[in-house]
Chain A
Amino acid sequence: MTPAVRAAAAAAIGLAACARPSTLGAQPRYLGAELPPPCVAHDVEACLGWMIERDLADAALDLYDDLALRAYVQGVADRLARGSRLGGAPRVVIADHDGTYATSGSRIVIGRPTIERLDSEAELAGVIAHELAHIEGHHAVVSLFGPPPAGDDALVLRRDAEAIADERAVALLERAGYAPAAMSRALRAVLDAEDDEHPLRADRIARAKVMAGGLPGFEGRAELLGHLEHMVVGRDARLGRRVGDAWVVAALGLALELSPDDAVRDASDVLVLRRGQATLAAYAIGAAWAGELAAALDERSEDVRGLGRITVGTVAAPAGRDDTPIGKLARAIRSTLPQPAVGTRVEIVERPGGALVIELGGRGDRGGRGLPALGLRAARPSELAAAEPARVVIEHAWRTGAAADAAVCDGRLLDSPDRHVAAGDPIKCADRPLAERDRAPRLMADAAP
């Protein structure tokens, strides 16, 4: 599943409803964890929020796990929430996909690539404030439980909600002491596409600018940049990158050898290749999700080798349709997780940091029932090093002028080249030149609040 699809899927969850708890023992569980009290106490919103975060972390491997950065971003959300009508701040999590959205259960998911494009703490606050306003206004919940939105009326209401969130964000920035003008800059930085559900990009930016007026406030460029140092830039290739003649999944320490005869297509974190009569698709997933998938395989065989536990089998149809309320909720969320289709022959290689799923299509080399020789092995240190993603480094302008002319980080500049900087100002750079393929695919910010 591509980051874009993951983002869209997670977004859909925020608006739609519903996950798959496995029933291990008497206590219902979801992705290996006991369901928290909200799931048992019929608090569907809070339960959904918990499931969505668990999916990001333990199923899709899509959480950007930097505790210090998360704490910083959470601090910004806490500060904004004090000026809102919310009793407490929503929990903020940083995802590895682009886009930002509020989910049910008072959670804000902000993409690392989105943070990468922002230039100050006030801009970060603007992005968060927009989502916070959606949570304050119960906009996602209205979609969940409100009347059926139909046709043009629904779009008008969606656009209303987006415009209100932008405007309320300016008000929240003002209350928190942030420079309200940062809102229009944040919108300019993170929006690059139009859709039916949002007001026009130019209108949103202009409206935020007019509302902000000339009111001063805290910008916090140095504060943001200070927290971005060492953050991964662009696509995190540790979930899959071609290195020489191998597909390396550094997060799992695995490499899949490619032969010159293979027809290879590597789409984001998924490797697809044709080998002889077989078609293979390989991608990494979380350990808990892998365990559930492996346990549910039909015609299953299991083997523990040097690489870890390897389970081979055919993806079975669900044994029975779980129509319990929690079962329905689980089913909808489960459908958004990366997984092979029913009937697919798969090999699941479980590793400490997650698992590699290899789907087999076409015919294998054992009468169509088995997997061909995969050439799967532990990744070499040199391959792991090659799969390391680029990271942010902060350098300092040594003369006043446009960032591009400040003669630092040539070819690695992450700031806008036109940005005016004074001598000594921090400038956001990558630690190495970024190839086009390593740039994060851009998504509409606010994919689904």
Chain B
Amino acid sequence: MPLRWLILTLLAACRAAPIGHDAPAARCSSHRVGQVAVTGAPASAVPQLAVLEGTIDDPERTERVAGVAADGLRAQGYADASIAVARRPGCRIDLEVTVALGPRYRIARIAFDTDDDFPEADRLAVVEDALGTVNAIGGVYIEYRMKRALVELERRYRDAGWLEAELGAPRTTYDPAGSVVVRIPVRAGQRFRIGSVRAVGAGALAREAVLQSLGLHAGDYYDGPRIRWAIERARHRLARWVELRTNIAGDRPEIDLEAVVEAQR
């Protein structure tokens, strides 16, 4: 009977153990972090701190990690979140993490203070981020990502002919009920058109062919992407190097285009 018991016990141990050795019990050490206990939020809300379990105890680093974790919570919409970490010596150094989340803010409205013709949907699309979860209606507001997006939006304005467009810093209004309204001042200025299109260099036939291929006309609104593509197309259709010079007219909201055509080698 004792032998049978021993065999059964061994078999059970074999099934339970991972390949090789059993996991050893954590060794006591005053240099390593033991348990990380989180109150005020689930531990999964502060994974940056939770993962410190078993690492080397470094109070300064823990403070920095707590800062990163708090920023992570703010990036999830907990704009007022704060985290405090206390160290408790035991077998190892246990960390007690206290999280104060505060309300979770969602964007109720993003307003561009302007009456220009830049498509409203495009404006919102440029600032919207991360599959619509950041800087979008119903999403969370992250200021640095909004500022980064506004740099891109200003570039889009200029590329679409609003050469003097300026976008101001976003202004936010937080409602303690959990919503935030974002306002973005826009000074678009005048929208520039193409003043003239001409070709120089090479022979007359080549110049004419380039102009035909470009398909750009005086009076059209300046459209950066369309112009760049027209140049690429002309280069490849005609197998010639074509360079475009732009000249902003000083006395009217127009841009003159000059295609410099390389002579046939």
Contact = CB atoms under 8 A, between A and B. Distances in A.
A325 B132 contact: yes
A289 interface: no
Given A43-B131, A79-B19, A147 B75 contact: yes
Interface string B236-253: 110100000000000000
B15 interface: no
Nearest to B136: A325
A207 B57 CA distance: 13
B23, B52, B130, most chain A CB atoms within 10 A: B130
B17 A146 contact: no
B51, B56, B65, B136, most chain A CB atoms within 10 A: B51
Contact of A145 (B21, B53, B61, B75): B75
A326 B228 contact: no
B186 interface: no
Interface stretch (B99-107, B120-128, B177-185, B193-201): B120-128
B68 interface: yes
A164 B130 contact: no
Interface residues of B, number: 54
B232 A324 contact: no
Interface in A197-215: 207, 211, 213, 215
B23 A325 contact: no
Interface string A140-157: 011011111000000011
Contacts of B24: 174, 177, 215, 217
Nearest to A170: B54
Given A85-B43, A147-B144, A164 B64 contact: no
Contacts of A83: 23
Given A164-B51, A167-B55, A17 B130 contact: yes
Interface string B220-236: 00000100110011011
Given A157-B64, A323-B125, A324-B125, A148 B51 contact: no
Nearest to A138: B47
Contacts of A17: 129-130
A424 interface: no
Interface in B37-82: 43-44, 47-48, 50-56, 61, 64-65, 68, 71-72, 74-76
Given A85-B43, A317-B225, A137 B133 contact: no
Given A79-B19, A207-B56, A326-B131, A142 B27 contact: no
Bin the interface of chain A by size.
35 or more
Contact of A218 (B20, B53, B55, B126): B20
A42 B131 contact: yes
B245 to A, nearest CB: 19
A155 to B, nearest CB: 12
B111 interface: no
A134 B108 CA distance: 34
Contacts of B235: 343
Contacts of B51: 85, 133, 136-137, 164, 168
A176 B233 CA distance: 60
B56, B74, B75, B237, most chain A CB atoms within 10 A: B56
Given A218-B20, A218-B21, A323-B122, A160 B239 contact: no
13 contacts: A17-B130, A42-B133, A79-B18, A85-B53, A137-B51, A141-B72, A164-B61, A176-B23, A215-B24, A298-B233, A323-B126, A325-B129, A342-B232
Interface of B: 17-24, 26-27, 32, 43-44, 47-48, 50-56, 61, 64-65, 68, 71-72, 74-76, 122, 125-126, 128-134, 136, 142, 144, 148, 225, 228-229, 232-233, 235-237, 239
Interface of A: 17, 39, 42-44, 47, 79, 82-83, 85, 133, 136-139, 141-142, 144-148, 156-157, 160, 163-164, 167-168, 170-172, 174-178, 207, 211, 213, 215-220, 223, 298-299, 314, 316-317, 321, 323-326, 328-329, 342-343, 345, 363, 367-369
